Structure 1
């Protein structure tokens, strides 16, 4: 016999519905409207910066190089192409993707390039994927992963792809596999003996990217450093977490050299127009470049890279773009590149920068703005999805609008 009455929801369904209703009611986005520090700060986006770029000698139109560099954790072509497409969408112009890099060899930086036309200005976008550098070392931790991460693909591993044999709680497993083994390991590798190798690779990627703008006839037979000197265009850096330390350490290291390398490093430095940071980790990573205070021998020379004889400063931004920059390039104080640092307070791997200076009772000697954002809702005031909190900056419309159009967001482009 057919039951004419609808079935009553079971207890599990009622509990689930009630839970979802409570969670929905308890979700909030603390920084639905981004908050700037200082609150009245003004800064330009890529549109305004590109509009000021002059036409370089021998060029038909003004150009601006935009470098996008990721931080710790595995990143690949999807990340690079996604960043370029989202940036193009924010700029209101299509991206013309250029030939992708050769996948072989895998253990080198891969540069994904595109051109975005902004009226009579051309953006040359370079998304640099450096995950292949650290992957061979991170394989040594794969035996300890319950659910294998991207760095532990059995099809590409050179070590034995062992299964983890013990019981581990699901959440603990995710933290161990994805946070420690896949992400934090990158920072440890960089701060250790591989730092010089990683910096040389980053320097090569930066200089090659700048060199390709030079006429082919001029590049013939020249090193990337020498060819890059023909590129007069300004540049904007968009860097995340560990990537910000890598990029500026690489420039500092280049500047310390003689000959074409030193000249190329100073050209990168001098042509930097604006810096956008996401999930900034300089306060954390800078701890590794300091001696313990107040101990005997603490004034001895700091450890150096084997790529140069220059110690790395704990604060590469102040070192590059502070008093030294003004003296080196005879700049006025307001001519220094500005730094805009986006940070979600629930991102456990991000540190605002202005508080970093206040705690040390100093003022940054370069223009600095912290922009506090929310990359995802907070549930019941207890937590925000950690993956979205740290990795959600490229998909956050507020972040993209300010990178593209400056402090007024979309309004800055109108």
Structure 2
């Protein structure tokens, strides 16, 4: 029997209780029914047995780290299909085949947690554009029913210390101050760096709980009757008699938006694909051409700057062409006509006397500035561009700003 195994096997051995313990080194391990991530402060899940010998997996809803998240994924994947699973950070266990008073309170807090989630779903339904939360509420109600049945919370039972525990729904329904304080002021999730459990008063949800009991939503009913009761719960709790009509209108508008967005995405994808095909065609077209042939195609606009570059070893490394009234470099930079006129005056000045050179900035069409570093031997250097005087004069002529 091996006790040091890989992480997925740790989860598998725990879920099937194939042995009493195992670990994958030091950050993922189980001992008996409990499996932990990084230590006993974070229990991923436990396998609990009720008084009838049935088992259920209590899987925590707490979070801690990305590694712990991976451990949680392994835990869930290892649980055999068809087993009863409760998602909760609550810790409930039998001691000597009986519930302790603390476990009894924790079991009541699980129900409070589910009622709070129901309240959140009902409130969310008022603004929801796409999600119908009735199935979510139904799942919460089913969880409460399964939970009560598993732990026998609908019956009067003796605790591990011999005290009588009253059916939990009776205690949660009580309006006595003592009971409200004990059963509706619940413990929260333990903060990461604290040993104390915070407590929070959730008695505001008791009225919703009593409403659910009055409507019989925790009792078996035909599918049609149950659906009608659930729908009416949403209407009454939101105070909107046209809740579902309003939801249908919002959903229809959102569906229309989603369709338009989908069409736009498909159009953009088609445009990207067309552009890619065009570029692939360009690439194959110029693959075996000489530089002079490529240059003429670039000047004419038949190929893009993507597939064009100046051979190494030349004094210049960029060409210019005029497109749509702008000057464009073979490196993909554009300069507007107004800026080109200003720059051409500088170039003419430098060409006549290089000693007149002074540093300046080129302001491109995308609002970026490029430093004019030098002008030497009729080569202008600006940023990473080196452009010959003849190239600049030809572009200026096309714009009609040079003789």
User: TM-score by structure 1 length?
Assistant: 0.21
The structure with the largest alpha-carbon Rg is 2
- Decide which structure has greater helix share: 2
